[in-house]
């Protein structure tokens, strides 16, 4: 992850889609208080510097060591028990965390993310989508669940958040991904999908995700390998 997050097509492309959704509701250059809940090796924290003051939490000591290498601020904590007071942040993000086996109760986790949001604050969530895409990668990264768009919307509403954005992503490559996962199951393949492909394929796939980043500003994509949602906490 540490080696791939900045340049690999999926990470760079999904970061562009997330930024596009945030840009609709949050001006760049602000001094927002930002929490990345489940920050991994800290790449997103580095990119949030243009949006405000960002901190992260993660349960993995290995991840936190990489955060220190990146010189970003992160501490060890669970998304089920955040070490912050109510209303501490203007933006909370959770990128591919709620699906994980370490998160035993995703509804309670979203409630905790909402608790630390300030009134009017935003929550951005991304999770893997659709059970039909389950494959070797899910086993390798300790997946517990792949979500539908409706399930993610229900999670945010259960925490009292207004759903502003709710879309699938990684849509244009969906047929390729479905074929890949079907073959993985048929061939009993093992291991994660996190790797670099030949440069022309990396460029082509990243271009498709950047096209989706422009699309999600205007439409909800109907199917895909991920679900993204933006919720807003009531102002009071």
Q: Work out the average pLDDT over 46-74.
A: 95
How would residue 30 be classed by pLDDT, with cut points 50, 70 and 90?
A: confident
CA distance 226 to 218: 18
User: Across the chain, how many H-helices and E-strands are there?
Assistant: 8, 7
Question: Residue 193: is its pLDDT beyond 80?
Answer: no
pLDDT tens digit sequence for 65-95: 999 999 999 999 999 999 999 999 999 999 9
pLDDT at residue 236, as a whole number:
75
Q: Measured between alpha carbons, how far is 161 from 88 in angstroms, rounded to an integer?
A: 16
**25 pLDDT above the threshold of 90:** yes
Domain encompassing residue 87: 9-233
98-107: average pLDDT: 95
DSSP 183: H
* pTM, rounded to two decimals: 0.94
Most confident segment among 126-140, 178-192, 213-227: 213-227
Rounded to 5°, the CA angle 139-168-107 comes to 65
Which of these, 117, 127, 154, lies nearest to 18 by C-alpha position? 127
Is pLDDT of 41 > 90?
yes
Residue 14 token pair: 């999904």
- Output the pLDDT for position 160: 98
Tell me what pLDDT residue 2 has: 87
CATH (domain of 114)? 3.40.50.150
pLDDT of residue 176: 93
Lowest mean pLDDT among 84-93, 173-182, 198-207: 173-182
Residue at 185 is within a domain: yes
Instruction: State the pLDDT at residue 18.
Output: 98
Q: Is residue 4 part of a domain?
A: no
Torsion from C-alpha of 151, 231, 1, 70, nearest 10 degrees: -160
C-alpha R_g of the chain: 17
Average pLDDT of every residue of the chain: 94
> Hey, what are 59's tokens?
């349960």
Q: Which helix (H) or strand (E) holds 28?
A: none
Q: What pLDDT score does 186 carry?
A: 80
Expressed in percent and rounded to 5, the helix, strand and coil fractions of the chain are: 40, 25, 35
Assess if residue 2 is contained within a domain.
no
List own/partner pairs for 147-150 with CB under 8 A and 24 or more apart.
147/99, 147/227, 148/227, 149/220, 149/227
Q: Confirm whether 120 is domain-assigned.
A: yes
Domains identified in the chain, total number:
1
Q: Is residue 3 part of a domain?
A: no
The Cα–Cα gap between 117 and 90 comes to: 6
At 191 the pLDDT is 72
Task: Quote the tokens at residue 103.
Answer: 């998160």
- Give pLDDT tens digits for 140-169: 888 999 999 999 999 999 999 999 999 999
């Amino acid at each position: 992850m540490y080696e791939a997050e900045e340049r690999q097509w999926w990470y760079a492309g999904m970061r562009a889609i997330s930024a596009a959704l945030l840009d609709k509701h949050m001006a760049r250059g602000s001094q927002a208080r930002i929490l990345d809940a489940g920050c991994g090796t800290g790449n997103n924290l580095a990119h949030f510097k243009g949006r405000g003051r960002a901190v992260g939490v993660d349960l993995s000591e290995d991840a936190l060591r990489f955060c220190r290498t990146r010189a970003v601020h992160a501490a060890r904590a669970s998304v089920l028990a955040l070490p912050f007071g109510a209303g501490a942040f203007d933006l909370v993000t959770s990128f591919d965390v709620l699906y994980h086996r370490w998160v035993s109760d995703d509804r309670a986790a979203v409630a905790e993310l909402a608790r630390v949001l300030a009134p009017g604050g935003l929550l951005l969530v991304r999770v893997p989508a659709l059970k039909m895409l389950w494959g070797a990668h899910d086993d390798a990264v300790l997946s517990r669940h792949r979500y539908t768009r409706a399930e993610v919307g229900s999670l945010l509403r259960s925490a009292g958040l207004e759903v502003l954005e709710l879309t699938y992503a990684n849509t244009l490559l969906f047929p390729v991904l479905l074929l890949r996962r079907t073959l993985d199951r048929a061939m009993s393949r093992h291991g994660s999908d996190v790797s670099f492909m030949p440069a022309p394929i990396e460029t082509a796939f990243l271009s498709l995700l950047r096209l989706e980043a422009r699309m999600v500003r205007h439409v909800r994509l109907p199917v895909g390998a991920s679900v993204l949602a933006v919720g807003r906490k009531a102002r009071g």
